[in-house]
Amino acid sequence: MPEMNEAKKRDCPPGSDKDCGVKKIPPFLPPLNKKQFHFSLWYFLAGLLLLNVLNNYFFHTPEQTIDFSEFKAKIISGQIKRVEMSSRYYIGLTYGREELKQIDGKGLRERSRLAKETVFRTIPVPESQIVPLLDSMKIEYFAKSEQPNRFVDLFFTWVIPLLIMIFIWRFLFKRMGNLGQGVMAFGQNRAHLVAEGDTGTTFNDVAGADEAKEELVEVVDFLKTPEKYTAIGGKVPKGVLLVGPPGTGKTLLARAVAGEAKVAFFRMSGADFVEMFVGVGAARVRDLFKQARDKAPCIVFIDELDAIGKSRAPIAGGNDEREQTLNQLLVEMDGFDARSGVIILAATNRPEVLDPALLRPGRFDRQVLVDKPDLNGREAILKIHIKGVSLDDSVDLKAVARSTAGFAGADLANIVNEAALLAVRAGRQKVAQEDFEEAIEKVMAGLKKKNRLINSKERRIVAYHETGHALTAAFTPDSDPVQKISIVPRGFGALGYTMQLPTEDRFLMTEKELLGKIDVLLGGRAAEQLIFNEISTGASNDIEKATDIARRMVTDYGMSEKYGNMVLRSRRGPMFLGDQGAFDREYSEEAQRYVDEQVARIIGERYDHVKSLLAEKKNELETIAGILLEKETVNAGEFKELIGEKAGAVKGDRRAAL
């Protein structure tokens, strides 16, 4: 038999499903699933409450009492010889102290029987004057103090307050993102390790920033083959600062660098360093760099660097905690070995406020500008974002890119999404060109206010106002062509708009072109005065922009006779107690008087010119305004037919709204 059992064991290896003749005994209890079992303090409290309810309603025997009058009668009759007094009951005993001693000598069962049969219980009645009665009858009586329940006293004195303190403590730590980590967790950094080797983003996912990508190729090459640089004695930049307007793809570029190099990627915001406790930011900087060295080669990306990297110049309302964090960051980067394989990337859209110590060589050695894309860049970005979007054959991405001058990558992604939503709203299966046009119009001019009711007088003012903008743009040399005129209310208070769209990007403007922009802005108010012989508040935004252009021509661009080729600089002083601060001029009162006179002269001359132009084109003004009142919208083709001429060369993106 032992040999047979050994043979069965050899034929049945562990883990096989083969029947080996061995009877398996089922376990007495099923295995405990730890995922299904979760202890909670609330379960314990709920069970305790349930036991208390069951005890009170099912296992508690109610105490038998007699009327107080009957209790007094038994005292008078001499049946009660001893009375026990408490705040809840009067208990009358039919035996005195001597008889109680005799009862104590009997057995337990006999004592219990006598105790039940010789006890009378009643509830005290206020002002019953029972003590004089007991004295007159010479009845023994005594008072009994009620002993408190020690368990209940302990529970409410210690357990409940302790539980409340623990609950508040855990709640506060959960709100601060440190639940279960302890007090010392404040010093731990909050960096997110996005990927161990692959972020899922490469340079193929980035468009419209070719120059920035070229600057970052060296960083990727160093992380892949560092020996190529160390062999010749070269050093890769310790830090690379990505600078550019919001939405241009700075974070996307950083992810692409990590994805191309296939290394770990730490992402952390500058605001994550600063906490309510002093010294936490510096501790988190130390912890971040320690983890980065352990994960090398890797990339550490600090977004919104200006949150902790602002200049340490002494200004009112400075934050010592932020300065300590910045000091620790400077120390860590200065003592950082570039050969360790850790690259620091940072992004900001406010480089002018950064501390100079951050930007010196040895820290952020290289600054890469990530600017808004040009025409070809916008088209490339659109091609990336339309992946997965069903497009109609009529969609012309070149035209969409031409209509979105000055848009960043995030704006273009938003336009593609808005166009898809508009197509679904219209019940189409594919996104058409008109969806893109409506999406651009929605982003630029705001949401269409279909239910806003405007009286007939205001509609006429708006129609002539917008027609004045359009006609001035059409007959002003080098002005952008009119794409659309509308008197449909949009956005925040805009009752109408005139849209001018470019076909090329502009980086310089001549004095003549700046004056043309002022003419177009003043065209709306000039049309109102020409037709109605009065002006309205609808041109407030137009004259604000026109005044700003005229002032900058004199103060910033040196386009004046007296102060030609000079900059008359003025800057805003520091804020104090919520005050925005006064402008600090670097020129005299006489120069300021000259600036004001020149601005008034420029605006006055251009306004007279525009009024003369619209007076010559009054017939076209009346015709187009009438069509606007009827159709509410005039597109570029209809406008060109009405004026009988082409609308000038296409440049820059400009919109004048009422």
Closest CA to 432 of 423, 421, 442, 424: 423
Which H helix or E strand runs over 471?
helix 456-474
Strands 633-635 and 482-486: antiparallel
CA distance to 90, 487, 497, 622, per residue, from 625 (Å): 102, 10, 13, 5
Closest CA to 505 of 396, 363, 407, 605: 407
Which H helix or E strand runs over 608?
helix 589-616
Instruction: Say how far apart CA 332 and CA 497 lie, in whole Å.
Output: 53
Instruction: Say how far apart CA 281 and CA 301 lie, in whole Å.
Output: 16
Contacts of residue 538, Cβ cutoff 8 Å, sequence gap at least 6: 461, 462, 465, 495, 524, 528, 658
- How would DSSP label each residue in 540-577? HHHHHHHHHHHHHHHHTS--SSTTTT----EEEPPPBT
Task: Examine residue 297 and say whether the peptide bond preceding it is cis (omega within 30 degrees of 0).
Answer: yes
Instruction: Say how far apart CA 633 and CA 646 lie, in whole Å.
Output: 19
And the tokens for 151?
């368990």
End-to-end CA distance of the chain: 105
- How would DSSP label each residue in 11-67? HS-TT-----SPPPPPPSSPPP-TTT----HHHHHHHHHHHHHHHHHHSPPPPP-B-
- For residue 223, the one-letter residue type is L
Alpha carbons within 13 A on the beta-carbon side of 517? 18
Closest CA to 542 of 627, 656, 394: 656
List 321, 332, 441, 466, catalytic entry:
466
| Beta strand spans in 105-246 (E) | 119-122, 140-143, 192-195, 239-243
Please state, as a whole number, how many other Cβ atoms lie within 10 Å of the Cβ of residue 402: 19
**Is 466 annotated as catalytic?**
yes
Asked whether 342 and 296 are in contact (CB, 8 A), the reply is yes
User: Which residue do the tokens 């660097």 mark?
Assistant: 305
Closest CA to 585 of 596, 572, 575: 572
> Coil, helix or strand for 278?
coil
Instruction: Say how far apart CA 358 and CA 309 lie, in whole Å.
Output: 7
And the tokens for 193?
């390790």
- For residue 36, the one-letter residue type is Q
CA distance to 539, 626, 631, per residue, from 634 (Å): 21, 11, 7
Contacts of residue 79, Cβ cutoff 8 Å, sequence gap at least 6: 92, 94
Q: What are the residue numbers of the active site?
A: 466
